[in-house]
Chains A and B, each alone.
Chain A
Amino acid sequence: MAASGGRTVGSFLWKCGNCCFNFNTVSSNLTCQVLSRQLCVSAVLHRKNLAAAGPEKFSEEFIKKQVEEFNIGKRHLANMMGEDPETFTQGDIDRSIAYLFPSGLFDKKAKPLMKHPDEVFPKQRAVQWGADGRPFHFLFYTGKQSYYTLMHDTFTKALAVEKHQDRLRGKGLFTQDTKQISLVGSRWLLKEELEELLVETISEHDYARFIQLMERLLSLPYCSVEEDFVQRYRRQLEIQSSKQQVQPLQYDQHGVAYSTGDGRRKTATGTVLLRDSSSGSISINGTNYVHYFPVLQDREQLMFPLHFMGVLGRFDMQCSVSGGGHSSQAGALRLAISRAMLSFLSEGQVETMRQAGLLTPDPRIKERKKPGQEGARRKFTWKKR
Chain B
Amino acid sequence: MAAGVFTKGLCGFRQPRIVAAGYSCSGPLYATATAVKTLPLQTDSTAVTDKIQNLPLEMPDFFRLSELFSLKDLFDARVHLGHKKGCRHRLMEPYLFGSRLDQDIIDLDQTMEHLQSALNFTAHIAYRGGIILFVSRRRQFGHLVESTAGDCGEYAHTRYWQGGLLTNAPIQYGPGVRLPDLIVFLSTLNNVFQQHVGVRDAAKMNIPTVGVVDSNCNPSLVTYPVPGNDDTPAAMELYCRLFKMTINRAKDKRRQMELLQGLSPAGLTPGSS
Chain A residues with a Cβ under 8 A of chain B: 12-13, 16-17, 19-20, 23-24, 27-28, 31-32, 35-36, 127-129, 132-135, 138-144, 148, 152, 155-156, 159
Q: Which of B17, B129, B146, B162 contacts A24 (CB 8 A)?
A: B17
A28 in contact with B21 given A141-B155, A152-B143 (CB within 8 Å):
yes
Instruction: Check A12 against B6 for contact (C-beta < 8 Å).
Output: yes
Question: Given A16-B3, A159-B143, A143 and B172 touching (CB < 8 A)?
Answer: yes
Residue pair B157, A17 in contact (C-beta under 8 Å): no
B165 touches A32 (CB 8 A): no
B262 at the interface (CB under 8 A from A): no
B103: min CB distance to chain A, Å: 31
Check if A20 sits within 8 Å of B165, measured CB to CB: no
CB within 8 Å for A20 and B154 given contacts A31-B18, A32-B21, A159-B143: no
Q: A32, B25: Cβ atoms under 8 Å?
A: yes
16 contacts between A and B (CB under 8 A): A16-B3, A20-B10, A24-B17, A28-B22, A31-B18, A31-B22, A35-B26, A129-B178, A132-B129, A135-B131, A138-B154, A140-B173, A141-B180, A143-B165, A144-B159, A152-B146
* Among A36, A134, A138: residue with most chain B CB under 10 A: A138
B36 within 8 A of A: no
Residues in B neighbouring A31, C-beta threshold 8 A: 18, 21-22, 25
Q: Which residues of B contact A156 (CB under 8 A)?
A: 143, 147
Q: How far is the CA of A142 from the CA of B180 in the complex (A)?
A: 12
Q: Are A32 and B143 in contact (CB under 8 A)?
A: no
Q: A24 with B157: in contact, given A129-B177, A141-B180, A143-B165 (CB under 8 Å)?
A: no
Please state if B162 and A143 are interface contacts (CB–CB under 8 Å).
yes
B residues 133-181 near A (Cβ < 8 Å) are 133, 143, 146-147, 149-150, 153-157, 159, 162, 165, 172-174, 176-178, 180
Q: Are A16 and B178 in contact (CB under 8 A)?
A: no
Report the minimum CB–CB distance from B217 to chain A (whole Å): 22
On chain A, the residues within 8 Å of B86 by CB distance are none
B14 part of interface (Cβ distance < 8 Å): yes
Complex: chain B residue closest to A158, CB-CB: B143
Contact, CB under 8 Å: B11 / A141: no
B residues engaging A (CB < 8 A)? 3, 6-7, 10-11, 14, 17-18, 21-22, 25-26, 28, 129, 131, 133, 143, 146-147, 149-150, 153-157, 159, 162, 165, 172-174, 176-178, 180
**B6: which A residues are within 8 A, CB to CB?**
12-13, 16
CB distance from B156 to the nearest CB of A (A): 6
Give chain A residues whose Cβ lies under 8 Å from the Cβ of B178.
Answer: 129, 133-135
A78 to B89, CA, bound (A): 78
- In the complex formed, the residue of A with least CB distance to B164 is A143
CB B198 to nearest CB in A, in angstroms, measures 10
B residues less than 8 Å from A132 (CB atoms): 129
Residues of B within 8 A of A144 (CB): 159
Contact of B7 among A23, A133, A139, A141 (CB under 8 A): A23
- Chain B residues with Cβ below 8 Å from A138 are 146, 149-150, 153-156
